[in-house]
């Protein structure tokens, strides 16, 4: 089982490669997954949906001299930006005005009416910084890092345009350049944030069972742009395929539905689209949701979710000699099980404790541990076939 899951992980991470959300790469991966499930004998459909996503390529940060001058600022034409999730879209220009960390005492007495706030990262949340600048009249914000390099971030809410002004982030080094130039005189900054509508998709593979109960098994198959995403989340998708392969000839007392979700990296968009497609009655039929995410690197298998499921997982792990520990979601992270949890559906998530390489170029097959893949698949299969699942003790 570990060998099968490792082979699937290799195929997804290396042969298919980067599977960026809502791209042709993601579609190629979805088509592969659909073929695999169909070959196992499952009823398969691809569920399309649309995502609105920020476009760094179409967004930007530019600079001009203030009115009445002719000398353009030099040395800042190549500043690279990142976009913070939750930023407002649109274009705004104003005098670039440093406000340090955007603490209350950092805001000028006269406010920031019509200006672009230049803010240092740190101490308080991005949301607090941006809200404070906007309330003081700023039309946009530029946040520079407080350590070397650039960064990505969120304004704390998944909703598009949840902030009142457009926001971009830049590196510490570029922030220092701007601060140095501002000592010499004023600069007009223009912040532009663009959002595009893109096509994404879920793959739904089902084996009907008796009765009304449905158990959903899910894993997101997309990766962040340009990365193979071996641990996050080729590994989870591979375990999903491995479990499906093992269950293809097994009769279960409920309908089992395998769903590789698209566009998880854009904010759980695939699982959200799936839940939104269901009626209240269909949601009520889902007795449990199993999720597999970032489970390939660490000292042991971790499980989290409904107590009745984690207790069952711990007991079965002991009987199967699988090292498994009950845990909780890391602060600031989430995965597709959260979408089901919000609907009152009991969930269990399979993961592992080492997240150190996710969303980096080091998330490669070199660090994938086949034993963790096998343990996840074996424990999931044991749970699915336990007499007390999904009803619980």
What percentage of the chain carries pLDDT values higher than 90? 82
**Sign, CA torsion 361/363/364/366:** positive
The confidence score (pLDDT) of residue 99 equals 96
- Of 162, 111, 165, the residue nearest 143 (C-alpha): 165
The confidence score (pLDDT) of residue 393 equals 40
- Interatomic CA distance for residues 123 and 330, integer angstroms: 20
Q: What is the band of 264 on the pLDDT scale with cuts at 50, 70, 90?
A: very high
> Would the pLDDT of 12 be above 60?
yes
- Interatomic CA distance for residues 53 and 69, integer angstroms: 37
**Sign, CA torsion 206/211/217/222:** positive
Q: Domain 60-193: which topology?
A: Glucose Oxidase; domain 1 (3.50.30)
pLDDT tens digit string along 45-102? Answer: 999 999 988 888 899 999 887 776 655 566 677 788 999 888 999 999 999 999 999 9
pLDDT tens digit string along 358-378? Answer: 999 999 999 999 999 999 999
- Interatomic CA distance for residues 291 and 309, integer angstroms: 12
Q: What is the band of 284 on the pLDDT scale with cuts at 50, 70, 90?
A: very high
Q: What is the band of 229 on the pLDDT scale with cuts at 50, 70, 90?
A: very high
pLDDT tens digit string along 188-228? Answer: 999 999 989 999 999 999 999 998 999 999 999 999 989 99
The confidence score (pLDDT) of residue 65 equals 79
| E-state strands within the chain | 43-54, 60-64, 82-83, 90-98, 116-120, 140-144, 167-170, 188-193, 195-207, 214-220, 255-261, 286-292, 301-305, 324-326, 347-351
pLDDT tens digit string along 61-74? Answer: 998 877 766 555 66
- Same fold? 2-54+198-384, 60-193: no
Residue 309, classified by CB atoms within 10 Å of its CB into exposed (0-12), middle (13-18) or buried (19+), is: buried
Residues annotated catalytic, as ranges: 264
Q: Domain 2-54+198-384: which topology?
A: Aminopeptidase (3.40.630)
The pTM of the whole model exceeds 0.75:
yes
> Would the pLDDT of 257 be above 90?
yes
Residue spans of the domains in the chain: they are: 2-54+198-384, 60-193
The confidence score (pLDDT) of residue 71 equals 57
> Would the pLDDT of 391 be above 70?
yes
- Of 168, 172, 185, the residue nearest 73 (C-alpha): 185
pLDDT tens digit string along 15-24? Answer: 999 999 999 9
| Averaged pLDDT for residues 125-153 | 93
- Interatomic CA distance for residues 187 and 184, integer angstroms: 9
The confidence score (pLDDT) of residue 208 equals 96
Q: What is the band of 246 on the pLDDT scale with cuts at 50, 70, 90?
A: very high
- Of 273, 246, 24, the residue nearest 259 (C-alpha): 273
The confidence score (pLDDT) of residue 162 equals 60
The confidence score (pLDDT) of residue 85 equals 83
148-158 b/e (C-beta count within 10 Å ≥ 16 → b): eebbebbbbee
CA 281: distance to chain centroid?
A: 28
């Amino acid at each position: 089982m570990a060998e099968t899951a490792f082979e699937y992980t290799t195929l997804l991470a290396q042969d298919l490669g980067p599977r960026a959300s809502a791209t042709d790469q993601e579609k190629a991966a979805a088509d592969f997954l659909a073929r695999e499930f169909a070959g196992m004998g499952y009823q398969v459909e691809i569920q399309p949906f649309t995502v609105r996503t920020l476009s760094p390529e179409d967004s930007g940060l530019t600079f001009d001299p203030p009115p009445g001058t002719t000398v353009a600022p030099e040395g800042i034409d190549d500043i690279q930006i990142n976009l913070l999730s939750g930023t407002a879209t649109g274009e705004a220009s104003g005098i670039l005005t440093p406000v340090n960390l955007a603490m209350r005492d950092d805001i000028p007495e006269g406010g920031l009416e019509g200006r672009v706030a230049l803010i240092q990262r740190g101490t308080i949340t991005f949301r607090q910084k941006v809200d404070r600048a906007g309330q003081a009249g700023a039309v946009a914000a530029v946040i520079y890092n407080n350590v070397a390099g650039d960064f990505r971030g969120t304004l704390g809410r998944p909703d598009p345009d949840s902030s009142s002004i457009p926001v971009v982030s830049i590196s510490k080094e570029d922030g220092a350049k701007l601060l140095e130039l501002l000592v010499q005189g004023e600069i007009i900054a223009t912040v532009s944030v663009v959002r595009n509508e893109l096509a994404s998709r879920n793959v739904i593979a089902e084996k009907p069972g008796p009765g009304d109960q449905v158990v959903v098994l899910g894993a997101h198959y997309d990766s962040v742009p340009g990365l193979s995403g071996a641990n996050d989340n080729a590994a989870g998708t591979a375990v999903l395929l491995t479990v499906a392969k093992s269950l293809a000839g097994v009769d279960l007392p409920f309908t089992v539905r395998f769903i590789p979700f698209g566009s998880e990296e854009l904010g759980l968009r695939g699982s959200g689209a799936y839940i939104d497609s269901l009626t209240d009655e269909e949601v009520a039929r889902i007795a449990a949701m199993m999720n597999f995410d970032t489970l390939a690197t660490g000292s042991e298998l971790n499980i989290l979710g409904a107590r009745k499921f984690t207790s069952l997982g711990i007991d079965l792990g002991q009987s199967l000699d699988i090292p498994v520990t009950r845990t909780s979601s890391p602060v600031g992270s989430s995965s597709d099980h959260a979408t089901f949890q919000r609907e009152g559906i009991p969930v269990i998530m399979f993961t592992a404790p080492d997240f150190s390489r996710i969303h980096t170029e080091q998330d490669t097959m070199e660090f994938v541990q086949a034993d963790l893949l096998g343990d996840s698949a074996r424990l999931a299969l044991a749970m699915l076939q336990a007499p007390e699942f999904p009803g619980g003790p």
